[in-house]
Amino acid sequence: MENPPLFIYSPRYIQFDYGRDHPLRLFRLKLAVDLMEHYGLLSPPVEKAKPEEIDDETLLTFHDPSYLETLKKADEEGIPYPSMGLGNSDNPVFPGMYTLSRLVVGGTMVGTLKALEGRRVFHIGGGMHHARPSKAEGFCYLNDIVIALKDALNKGAKVLYLDIDAHHCDAVQEAFYEDPRVLVVSFHQYGPDTYPGTGALEELGEGEGKGYNLNLPLNRYTEDETLWWAYQELVPPLLEAFQPDLLFTQLGVDAHKDDPLTTLFLTTGFYERLAQDLASRWQGPWMAVGGGGYDMVNVARIWTLMWGIMVGKEVPDTLPESFLRISRMEGYDGPTIRDVPGWSGALSHVPKTLKPRVEFLKEHCPLLG
């Protein structure tokens, strides 16, 4: 691509705090940025930008006015509003939460605009795919993804949205459930005890959007080789058939085997392989956002590997001592950025539960027929 890659991050992100016991620690963003800088992944020709707080008019393209007023009031007064999801253990009320959320939306908005110019862009602080029009959900107060995608549609783009977060992209699915201009593809853990409880195989879209919403529910302990097989069966053919104007990826990494909130079993090898495949296969505009990931050492390692591939730079395996000092305190004493052993590249079997799910999606998606 002619235009240089763009990395979006603000040091302001780590000024905010969900609370001491909350699993979403914003320091993980700085840890990832520091690691990327160590490997030279943020040096020219990579460009850097800091997000600005988005205006309320833009937020109203998805969120209800009453919710925005309540979110602002909860921030200013420190008052919970349970009916709108504000003040519970997932979505605590904390100082600056409205400002933080507007920064996140601003970063994804400007990143998507820049991506449409023909760039690869990563907004590390984005990816809040659970926020509803009038309710905070799943650590998410404002939905940067839906707002940015709506703007892209208004500019005439059609989008392939790929979400690899361990939790289903429920609010994104709902926003575009009847719209064939956004092809939503989600790989996520699914079961009676898994948040948010949506993302069943049969949720295929409605009306003109029927067959343009594809969910691949994953059983507990799904490993690299299993998901890699499914990815190859679905995503490359979809990219070829749909020919989007924008590839938009939510790169949540909470499907990693050591994540404290989920029970999938991926390693850094899967994430690296996926990024390599997309980078080699897709030369058009690519917007990436962060998302879930609650072991901050793994977040930093995986996003660094993926960004390195997006910008075409090899990432050495040895971690710097400055990173290891922190990682040891977090329980990771491995000296390498990649898990050992890494991705094996050999599929010994296709699980009996996954193959029929992939075949079902092929049968019901007009792009895969």
Helix (H) or strand (E) holding 322: helix 321-329
pLDDT-above-90 percentage for the chain: 94
Residue 64 has pLDDT above 60, yes or no: yes
* pLDDT at residue number 333: 85
* pLDDT at residue number 250: 99
Q: Is residue 97 part of a domain?
A: yes
Would you place residue 135 in the very low, low, confident or very high pLDDT band (cuts 50, 70, 90)? Answer: very high
Distances (CA, A) of 247 to 100, 150, 266, 282: 25, 14, 23, 8
168 catalytic? Reply is no
Residue 12 has pLDDT above 80, yes or no: yes
Domain hosting 355: range is 6-364
Q: Is residue 278 part of a domain?
A: yes
Number of domains in the chain: 1
Q: Is residue 341 part of a domain?
A: yes
Would you place residue 352 in the very low, low, confident or very high pLDDT band (cuts 50, 70, 90)? Answer: confident
Q: Of 165, 15, 136, 138, nearest to 71 (Cα)?
A: 136
Segment among 18-27, 126-135, 157-166, 331-340 with least mean pLDDT: 331-340
Mean of the pLDDT values across residues 351-364? 93
Residue 71 has pLDDT above 80, yes or no: yes
Average pLDDT, the chain: 96
How far apart CA 307 and CA 116 sit, in angstroms, is: 18
Would you place residue 49 in the very low, low, confident or very high pLDDT band (cuts 50, 70, 90)? Answer: very high
Mean of the pLDDT values across residues 122-140? 98
Write the burial class of residue 6 (CB in 10 Å: 0-12 exposed, 13-18 middle, 19+ buried): buried
* pLDDT at residue number 47: 98
- Give the CATH number, domain containing residue 283: 3.40.800.20
Q: Is residue 264 part of a domain?
A: yes
**C-alpha atoms less than 13 angstroms from C-alpha of 85 in its C-beta half-sphere:** 17
Number of H helices, E strands in the chain: 11, 8
Which one of 63, 123, 130, 188 is the catalytic residue?
Answer: 130
Evaluate the CA torsion angle 171, 172, 178, 184 in order and state its sign. negative
How far apart CA 132 and CA 295 sit, in angstroms, is: 25
> Using omega within 30 degrees of 0 as the cis cutoff, is the peptide bond preceding 80 cis?
no
Residue 340 has pLDDT above 90, yes or no: no
Per-residue model confidence as pLDDT tens digits over 186-222: 999 999 889 999 999 999 999 999 999 999 999 999 9
Q: Is residue 23 part of a domain?
A: yes
Mean of the pLDDT values across residues 256-283? 97
pLDDT-above-70 percentage for the chain: 97
* pLDDT at residue number 8: 98
Q: Is residue 369 part of a domain?
A: no
Q: Is residue 201 part of a domain?
A: yes
Would you place residue 347 in the very low, low, confident or very high pLDDT band (cuts 50, 70, 90)? Answer: low
Q: Is residue 1 part of a domain?
A: no
Residue 174 has pLDDT above 80, yes or no: yes
